[in-house]
């Protein structure tokens, strides 16, 4: 019979940003621990508030699964005589393993037939295992930051204050760091702090709710959403409720109470982001918009307290925000006095990297790299690209960005507009930063993309060029993120640039500062970006072996590489794909490296090689035209027509003959065939199933 497990780790307040990861970690660790212990269960849920991590396991088997293992003994010829009777060797082995000799089995292994004893290990009762397994779950959890407290060697996200552990309604007794498990949990720290005894999961959820704790984070998030919408509607608006921010706010509280505050309308004269940033980033408030998407002088705050006088909480939030907005307004007015262009020389005061110089040095390299890119992508953007790259980092010196770092780029855009820069240049200053993280928006304009690629490639080339290639989890200059950003932007906007040429130009611009040989740095940078491209294409659900095959044929033009991988994936649906791949592999694998000879028709002796040569010549023009048009799927389908000729060639022609001239001519013929498809993919990398 199966029983339920309820396990809660009570802590001091955990930062809200840690909670989603903690829930995943708890589920992963628990699944691994129970699998290793051979414990079956029906379902697993993880829940959390700032003060607790909860695990609920439904239908947990009462006894672990039995384990059967095989022990190999002597060879059959030694264990049994010619009449098939067990020998002393068999009796000795059976006795050593604790099994009757008649239970021994004979099994065929790679080295011959051997006697095998099958040993069965009975399962232990789950209740006996849990006192060991639950502490293991606690000590196996990892977090972005952990801490120790007192004199304890235990590290955890925050100090543990209580442990609740019930299996089948009974306490699972154990102790961690001096804290004994029990059947008690605790309600809201201020509204209902006394312990409460529970008997099962349903009882746990219901009693905690009466104690002002909504333990299910998804229900708590829905409550925040509904209550925020309700209170904002009273003022003719709607709260801005993006999913990530909603999750963060819901994980700040155990029982959400909502208040709607206001601020002076004069602050609406500031750029919208200047008002929203203090609301969201600093105070965790929801901005309120009208039906046309215009910012209103209201905000929704979520409180972890319920009082008779909620106006006091509202006024407190308004007072804190008032100071923030007053600072923002002051900084904005002061910053406007200095044109953005006048700040550029002062970037020389900020060190970018010890070997690579200041941010001013970086800005100068960005100008040249942006110019290089514009010439190849859209020459009409060259001067605008140079101007935007020059100004892109100037807002780092503004008081606004120093106070609100999340406004980098946005403030640069606003100040560029104020001081007469073109709208395209101003917008490119903002757009050169994204994507900052996974799922972030990408630049919408080619100009913004050019400046962004210039910025990211300068960082990648410079840092790897001075020996700062990321290793393990260490990536202080966020080069992986930068490389992923370059790949995403190039693919999404379809930018046709030579990656190798871009890398060489970026290295050239900082060549006097490099500590490595340029060739080695170039090779490492190409490999570094290739890995990001490969990961991104696999994330798009292209088969990993197809991606590897495509990139092995070249990825200098990343847009072309992505399209070739897609075409190869499309060809996979063809009924003779496996046979086609096998044929291509036979062609490539027989070829020596660096073969440059041309096939001479006069040396052909067999009809099969003449036929293959004619088919190759006939296809070459069509394939070349299709490749030129980037119709890779069409080119692959056309190339597939040569398979019967290839199969016939290998059936009727001996390639590696003693006659050197004849041998090399046949290899040259195969090289001609290989050149038809090697521009699309390296088929030796494709797994045939």
The per-residue DSSP string of 666-680 comes to: HHHHHHHHHHHHHTT
b/e burial code for range 486-518 (CB count within 10 A of at least 16 → b): bbbbbbebebebebeebbebbbbbbeebbeeee
Is residue 132 reached through a cis peptide bond, with omega within 30 degrees of 0 on the bond before it? Answer: no
Q: What are the tens digits of pLDDT across the range 443-490? A: 999 999 999 999 999 999 999 999 999 987 788 899 999 999 999 999
Residue 614's pLDDT is 87
Q: What are the tens digits of pLDDT across the range 105-126? A: 888 887 888 988 888 878 899 9
Strands 179-182 and 160-167: parallel
CATH class label, 3-63+125-210: alpha beta
Indicate where the chain has its CATH 3.30.70.260 domain(s).
3-63+125-210
* Residue 577, pLDDT above cutoff 70: yes
Indicate where the chain has its CATH 1.10.730.10 domain(s).
571-685
User: Which carries the bigger pLDDT value, residue 681 or residue 184?
Assistant: 184
The pair of three-digit structure tokens given for residue 347, joined into one six-digit string: 């970037």
Q: Do residues 371 and 380 make contact, with C-beta atoms less than 8 angstroms apart?
A: no
The structure's pTM equals: 0.79
Task: State how far the Cα of 642 lies from the Cα of 644, in Å rounded to an integer.
Answer: 6
Sign of CA dihedral 490, 491, 492, 497: positive
Mean pLDDT of 319-347: 94
Indicate where the chain has its CATH 1.10.3210 domain(s).
341-540
Residue 689's pLDDT is 60
Q: Do residues 686 and 546 make contact, with C-beta atoms less than 8 angstroms apart?
A: yes
b/e burial code for range 143-155 (CB count within 10 A of at least 16 → b): beeeeeeeeeebe
User: Which carries the bigger pLDDT value, residue 682 or residue 224?
Assistant: 224
Residue 589's pLDDT is 82
b/e burial code for range 212-246 (CB count within 10 A of at least 16 → b): bbbbbbeebbebbbebbbebbeeeebbbbbeeeeb
Return the CATH fold of 571-685: Isoleucyl-tRNA Synthetase; Domain 1 (1.10.730)
* Residue 530, pLDDT above cutoff 90: yes
Q: Which residue has the tokens 């264990």?
A: 79
Q: How far is CA 16 from CA 159, 193, 225, 514, 527, in A?
A: 16, 21, 17, 42, 37
Architecture of domain 341-540: Orthogonal Bundle (1.10)
Q: Do residues 592 and 658 make contact, with C-beta atoms less than 8 angstroms apart?
A: no
Task: State how far the Cα of 166 lies from the Cα of 180, in Å rounded to an integer.
Answer: 13
Task: State how far the Cα of 672 lies from the Cα of 11, in Å rounded to an integer.
Answer: 69
Q: What are the tens digits of pLDDT across the range 239-274? A: 999 999 999 999 999 999 999 999 999 999 999 999
User: Which carries the bigger pLDDT value, residue 675 or residue 442?
Assistant: 442
Q: What are the tens digits of pLDDT across the range 27-79? A: 999 999 999 999 999 999 999 999 999 999 999 999 999 887 888 999 988 88
b/e burial code for range 544-554 (CB count within 10 A of at least 16 → b): eebbbbbbebb
Q: Do residues 656 and 587 make contact, with C-beta atoms less than 8 angstroms apart?
A: no
Q: Which residue has the tokens 């195969």?
A: 670
Sign of CA dihedral 484, 486, 492, 494: negative
Mean pLDDT of 271-296: 92
Q: What are the tens digits of pLDDT across the range 532-544? A: 999 999 999 999 9
Residue 249's pLDDT is 96
Q: How confident is the model at residue 658 (pLDDT cuts 50, 70, 90)?
A: confident
């Amino acid at each position: 019979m199966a029983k339920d497990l309820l396990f809660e780790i009570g802590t001091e307040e955990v930062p809200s940003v840690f909670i989603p990861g903690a829930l995943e970690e708890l589920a992963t660790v628990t699944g691994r621990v129970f699998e290793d212990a051979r414990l079956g269960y029906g379902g697993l849920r993880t829940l959390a508030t700032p003060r607790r991590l909860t695990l609920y396991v439904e239908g947990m088997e009462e006894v672990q699964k039995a384990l059967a293992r095989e022990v190999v003994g002597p060879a059959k010829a030694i264990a049994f005589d010619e009449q098939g009777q067990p020998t002393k060797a068999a009796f000795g082995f059976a006795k050593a393993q604790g099994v009757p000799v008649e239970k021994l089995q004979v099994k065929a292994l790679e080295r011959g037939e051997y006697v095998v004893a099958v040993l069965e290990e009975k399962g232990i009762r789950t209740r006996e295992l849990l006192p060991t397994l639950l502490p293991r779950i606690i000590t196996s959890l990892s977090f972005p930051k952990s801490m120790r407290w007192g004199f304890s060697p235990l590290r955890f996200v925050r100090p543990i204050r209580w442990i609740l552990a019930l299996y089948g309604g009974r306490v699972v007794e154990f102790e961690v760091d001096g804290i004994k498990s029990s059947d008690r949990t605790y309600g809201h720290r201020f509204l209902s702090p006394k312990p409460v005894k529970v008997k099962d999961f349903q009882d746990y959820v219901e009693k905690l709710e009466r104690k002002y704790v909504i333990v299910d984070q998804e229900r708590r998030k829905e409550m925040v959403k509904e209550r925020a919408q309700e209170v904002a509607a009273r003022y003719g608006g709607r709260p801005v409720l993006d999913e990530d921010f909603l999750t963060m706010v819901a994980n700040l509280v155990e029982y959400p109470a909502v208040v709607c505050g206001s601020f002076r309308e004069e602050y609406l004269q500031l750029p919208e982001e200047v008002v929203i940033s203090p609301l969201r980033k600093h105070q965790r408030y929801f901005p309120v918009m009208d039906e046309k998407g215009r910012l209103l002088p209201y905000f929704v705050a979520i409180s972890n307290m319920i009082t008779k006088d909620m106006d006091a909480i509202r006024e407190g939030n308004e007072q804190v925000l008032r100071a923030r907005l007053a600072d923002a307004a002051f900084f904005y007015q002061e910053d406007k006095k200095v044109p953005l262009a006048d700040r550029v020389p002062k970037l020389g005061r900020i060190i970018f990297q010890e070997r690579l110089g200041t941010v001013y040095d970086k800005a100068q390299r960005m100008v040249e790299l942006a110019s290089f890119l514009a010439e190849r992508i859209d020459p009409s953007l060259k001067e605008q690209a140079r101007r935007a790259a020059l100004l892109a980092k100037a807002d780092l010196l503004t008081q606004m960005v120093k106070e609100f770092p999340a406004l980098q780029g946005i403030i640069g855009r606003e100040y560029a507009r104020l001081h007469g820069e073109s709208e395209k240049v101003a917008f490119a200053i903002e757009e050169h930063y994204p994507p900052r993280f996974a799922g972030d928006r990408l630049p919408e304009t080619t100009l913004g993309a050019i400046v962004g690629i210039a910025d990211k490639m300068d960082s990648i080339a410079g840092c790897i060029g001075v020996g700062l290639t990321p290793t393990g989890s260490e990536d202080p200059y966020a080069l992986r993120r930068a490389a992923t950003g370059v790949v995403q932007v190039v693919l999404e906007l379809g930018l046709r640039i030579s990656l190798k040429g871009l890398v060489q130009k970026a290295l050239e611009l900082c060549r006097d500062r490099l500590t490595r040989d340029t060739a080695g740095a170039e090779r490492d940078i190409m490999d570094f970006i290739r890995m990001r491209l490969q990961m991104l294409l696999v994330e798009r659900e292209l088969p990993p072996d197809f991606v590897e095959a495509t990139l092995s044929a070249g990825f200098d033009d990343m847009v072309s590489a992505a399209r070739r991988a897609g075409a190869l994936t499309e060809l996979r649906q063809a009924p003779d794909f496996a046979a086609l791949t096998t044929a291509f592999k036979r062609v490539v694998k027989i070829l020596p490296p660096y073969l440059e000879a041309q096939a001479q028709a006069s040396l052909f002796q067999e009809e099969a090689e003449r036929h293959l040569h004619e088919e190759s010549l006939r296809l070459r023009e069509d394939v070349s035209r299709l490749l030129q048009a980037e119709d890779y799927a069409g080119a692959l389908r056309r190339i597939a027509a040569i398979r019967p000729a290839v199969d016939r060639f290998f059936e009727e022609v001996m390639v590696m003959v003693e006659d050197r001239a004849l041998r090399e001519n046949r290899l040259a013929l195969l090289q001609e065939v290989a050149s038809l498809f090697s521009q699309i993919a390296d088929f030796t990398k494709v797994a045939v199933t």
